[in-house]
Chains A and B, each alone.
Chain A
Amino acid sequence: GQQVKQSSPSLTVQEGGILILNCDYENDMFDYFAWYKKYPDNSPTLLISVRSNVDKREDGRFTVFLNKSGKHFSLHITASQPEDTAVYLCAAGINQGGSAKLIFGEGTKLTVSS
């Protein structure tokens, strides 16, 4: 089964709005959670990440919330802009053996309309 799942394949929001992207995971051993952003025909790049010892991390307009008991984490984007239009991939992993093996979700395609 899918270990990391994004329930919304696509989302549209008006420019300036607030949006929430959701991600659920199955393995309670995961201790690292990330959101990657991917523009069309480009490679994914890390947007924001959090370790399991905190439940929130903020970076400008982007905040990730972690709910360990619910095996859920989310990305909140405020004051959305057209350049936020991209595919957002959530990922979770376990640090073992000196590297993080990440499991990615299917992606949510976000469109910010002006």
Chain B
Amino acid sequence: GGIITQTPKFLIGQEGQKLTLKCQQNFNHDTMYWYRQDSGKGLRLIYYSITENDLQKGDLSEGYDASREKKSSFSLTVTSAQKNEMAVFLCASSMSGANQDTQYFGPGTRLLVL
């Protein structure tokens, strides 16, 4: 088994602030993902990475940056927080190979921008 941890659990920011969310996994998975969850909109892919130092844009990459520093960690940066923004950011990972498609999700970071 393995686990995905996300820090912080809650993040309160100010408008215009640059905010960084972190994700670690010990599954030894190759691929990691960042999703944004808004009420009534399901999960939208921001960035994903298929290996260390790789970065692929998702559908919602504008306004975000990401970095895959090493295989086990993937960080997401909100480049300029929007006033009254409220969302949950979910990190996930999946293994390459026969079971590559199952994604395992972390507990989420809840963002509120004042």
Contact = CB atoms under 8 A, between A and B. Distances in A.
Interface of A: 4, 6, 9, 32, 34, 42-46, 49, 89, 93, 95, 97-107
Contact of B105 (A4, A9, A43): A43
Name the residue in A32, A43, A46, A103 with the highest tally of chain B Cβ atoms < 10 Å from its Cβ: A43
Contacts, number: 63
Given A9-B40, A32-B101, A95-B100, A101 B106 contact: no
7 contacts: A4-B42, A49-B102, A99-B94, A99-B100, A100-B103, A101-B58, A107-B42
Nearest to A46: B102
A43 B50 contact: no
Chain B contact-residue range equals 20 to 34
A11 B96 CA distance: 35
B30 interface: yes
Given A43-B107, A106-B40, A99 B45 contact: no
B100 A100 contact: yes
A104 B50 CA distance: 19
A104 B45 CA distance: 9
Given A98-B96, A99-B31, A43 B106 contact: yes
B105 A98 contact: no
Given A100-B94, A102-B45, A95 B101 contact: yes
A99 B30 contact: yes
A106 B94 contact: no
